[in-house]
Amino acid sequence: MKVNFKNNAVALLMVTAFALPGLALADQEAYRIDDGHSFANWTVRHVASKTSGTFSDITGKILIDRENLANSSVEAKINVLSVNSSHAKRDEHIKKEEYLDAAKFSEMSFVSSKVEAKNNSEGILTGTLTLHGVSKQMSFSFKVLGFGTDPWGGYRMGLEAHTSLKASDFGFGWGAKPNAPVGDEVEITLLVEGVKLPAEKPIK
């Protein structure tokens, strides 16, 4: 029997390509984070109650595989200067060196490294959060809220995620003093909406 080595070599290359994790991207959909419809909400203790607010300037990208969430990833940047607690005077105070030191550290970022799927819509997202010049591994529980056509002829997806962090872990000292008026633990809720991009269009 005559063996066609040329055809076998082509077949082997195709199998190898699909087997390599870095090349198994055929089922990923790319979404640009819509900063007009995405929010990083925070809640922190204030004296005997809680104060909340948001960062409204979020940019980045989401690659999602609906059939295998573990084959998904997120990269996001948040403009610290976009902090909004619904009180202009307080916002200016929060931006100062005593709290966020936003003039020096105007951006925080998150780059995922792993997705653990519980099912086809929920899981744990782990990656590196860089804030105030400090990078630490953080995990978020997340839920894919859905997919749908928007009123402008585009296609969107929604994502909700939750975590909490200690401000002192990122070099902030406001909650370290006994009986400090502002707490050290910050609860985070991410509400992210992404706009689907054509496969041939790069995400910037």
Give SS3 for 180.
Answer: coil
pLDDT (0 to 100) of residue 177: 82
What's the mean pLDDT in 61-82? 97
Query: For residue 133, is it left (φ>0), alpha (ψ between -120 and 50) or beta?
Result: left
Q: What pLDDT sits at residue 6?
A: 43
pLDDT of residue 201: 58
Look up the CATH number of the domain holding residue 159.
2.40.128.110
Does the residue 125 lie in any domain? Answer: yes
Backbone torsion region of residue 60, taken as left when φ is above 0, otherwise alpha when ψ lies between -120 and 50, otherwise beta: left
* For range 21-32, the mean pLDDT: 70
**Can you give the residue range of the structural domain that contains 130?**
27-196
The per-residue pLDDT for 161 is 98
Per residue, the 3-state secondary structure of 125-176, as one string, reads EEEEEEECCEEEEEEEEEEEEEEEECCCCCEEEEEEEEEEEEHHHHCCCCCC
Q: Which residue would you say has higher pLDDT here, 91 or 1? A: 91
Q: Is residue 88 part of a domain?
A: yes
Kindly report, residue by residue over 96-132, the tens digit of the pLDDT: 999 999 999 999 999 999 999 999 999 999 999 999 9
Question: Among 12-16, 53-57, 70-74, 119-123, whose mean pLDDT is lowest?
Answer: 12-16
In a domain, 178, yes or no: yes
The reply to whether 6 falls in a domain is no
Q: Is residue 10 in a domain?
A: no
- With respect to residue 83, please indicate whether it lies within any of the assigned structural domains: yes
In a domain? residue 204: no
Is 32 among the domain residues?
Answer: yes
| More confident call, 198 vs 109 | 109
What would the pLDDT profile of 2-16 be if each residue is shown by its tens digit?
445 444 444 433 333
The domain total for the chain is: 1
What pLDDT, in 10s, does the model give residues 136-174?
999 999 999 999 999 999 999 999 999 999 999 999 999
Position 198 scores a pLDDT of 87
